[in-house]
Amino acid sequence: MTPESVLTLAQQALQVTLLMAAPPLLAALLMGLLVSVFQAATQINELTLSFIPKLLAIFVVLVLFGPWMLGILLDYMRQLFSGIPGMIG
């Protein structure tokens, strides 16, 4: 296994990790922004008001983008497992 192949595997793993993490994190970020604007406008400072909508947004995003995320992960794992014989010898 050459250093270039190790770096390629690490790069692909980081790309897949970012693709897996991006949709839920972006949903939480946008929902947090909307809730904070709402809280600033109404001066309601309830902690559950910021937590529950974020949790629901993440759940909805995982339901909507779950098949896409699973497809990316499965493609990466197939590519990784099919490349094992080439890496060994």
Q: Express each pLDDT in 6-49 by its tens digit.
A: 899 999 999 999 999 999 999 999 999 999 999 999 998 888 88
Contact between 28 and 55 under an 8 Å Cβ cutoff? The reply is no
- Token digits of residue 60: 């909805």
CA geometry: angle 32, 37, 41, nearest 5 deg:
145
Convert the pLDDT of each residue in 53-88 to its tens digit: 999 999 999 999 999 999 999 999 999 999 888 878
Q: What is the pTM of this model?
A: 0.82
Domain boundaries in the chain? Answer: 22-88
Q: Give the H or E element holding residue 46.
A: none
DSSP class per residue in 41-82? HHT---HHHHHHHHHHHHHHHHHHHHHHHHHHHHHHHHHHHH
